[in-house]
Amino acid sequence: MTDDPSRDRQDHAPVLTIRPAIVERNSRRVADRFDGDLVGVTKGVGGDPRVARAMVDGGATAIADSRLANLRRLGDRVDCDRYLLRPPMRHEIDAVVRNAEVSFQSEPSVLRATAAAASRRGVDHRIVLAVDVGDRREGVLLDDLASTLSIAAGIDGIEVAGVAAHTGSLNGVVPTAESVSRFVNCLERAEESISRQVPICSAGSSNTLGLCFDGDLPERVTQLRIGEAILLGTDPTTGEPLPGFETDAVVLSADVIECKAKPSAPTGPTGRDAFGESPTVEDRGVRDRAIVAMGRVDVPVEGLAPVREGVDVLGASSDHAVLDVTAVRESIRPGDSLTFELDYGALARSAASPYVATAYE
């Protein structure tokens, strides 16, 4: 991706079109309904600086990303703190204290190395302890929070800024009012071990917004980290649009390179496809099929929703996506462009692909 709005859309296909004004409005929709700090998450768009600025203009007080390269890309283009969401690799630590004001961490040995790096550079670095509240990705267990917080608070060279819970990304665990309250209660007991309150209680990401909008978040919650809801206007727990949010801040388009009537079922013996799968194809007779110039190298096509009525995504190889366009009212010809909305996985993959261009509207 690029921050250059003059990049020629015709140089590459497909094209990811970003509408910063919608990003800003969706950010404002969160900020206006959450009585705390909104951290905008840019990892879904590869740390795009225009998106980051739109989030800040919409009320975000900080920007977060899981990739250090994306934080470098943001640099001083946003006037706010930058968070590294993924605990750093050991060889990244010096770069982390240069490029992020805050990092999420969970290992005491890495905390000590971070403190040493910050001391060498003479900079202040804040850390947020990641807490595993059930999804079984990164983070200390709730039962270990007090002891780990006590260890972190005793390390010179870093400031323990807070703790953060996360659910949903690995095993789809849905946060509930009870689970968030349990997290907050564990934090408050842990704070007793260090005889002070930490400023940040980060209760979750976009999948926590339902609790926020229903008024079910404890008052102790001071921060939410929001990416998908801002970028796509959807609730990760259901995939459905959030009421009042716009869902077309980012769309993907690709050119048609072939359109022909073909039998829908393959002819001849079949084995595994190019990605090691054995697809099952329904024989629907002869159908109008279009091929667009993008494939699984660019995007997981299962995460695409065609904007044009009547288009059905059938599948894809590395560089070709095949569509059934029999039900489309208007004729489709080579050279036409078809547009798709994306789910979060499709957005993140296409934003990271070197074969996908970026445009802004």
DSSP string, 168-181: STTT-PPP-HHHHH
Whether pLDDT at 5 is above 50:
no
Q: What is the rounded CA–CA span in Å between residue 154 and residue 51?
A: 37
Q: Which domains does the chain have, with CATH numbers?
A: 20-231 (3.20.20.10), 250-360 (2.40.37.10)
Helix 145-153, helix 177-194: angle, nearest 10:
40
Q: What is the mean pLDDT of the chain?
A: 94
Say if strands 286-292 and 321-324 run parallel, antiparallel, or are unpaired.
antiparallel
pLDDT of residue 280: 82
- Assign 12 a pLDDT band (cuts: 50, 70, 90): low
Closest CA to 247 of 59, 25, 56: 25
pLDDT of residue 185: 97
Instruction: Using a pLDDT cut of 70, give the percent of the chain over it.
Output: 97
- Chain segment 175-220, per-residue pLDDT in tens: 999 999 999 999 999 999 999 999 999 999 999 999 999 999 999 9
Max avg pLDDT among 52-56, 120-124, 172-176: 52-56
Q: Are 346 and 303 in contact (CB under 8 A)?
A: yes
Q: Are 293 and 15 in contact (CB under 8 A)?
A: no
pLDDT of residue 3: 43
Name, in order, each residue with C-beta under 8 angstroms of 78's C-beta and a sequence gap of 6 or more. 49, 52, 53, 56, 63
Strand partners, 258: 291
pLDDT of residue 282: 84
Whether pLDDT at 2 is above 60:
no
Q: What is the rounded CA–CA span in Å between residue 176 and residue 293?
A: 42
pLDDT of residue 269: 85
DSSP one-letter code for 68: H
Residue whose entry in the numeric block shows the structure tokens 């096509």: 301
Whether pLDDT at 359 is above 50:
yes
Higher pLDDT, 278 or 150: 150
- Our separate counts of H helices and E strands in the chain read 10, 17
pLDDT of residue 276: 79
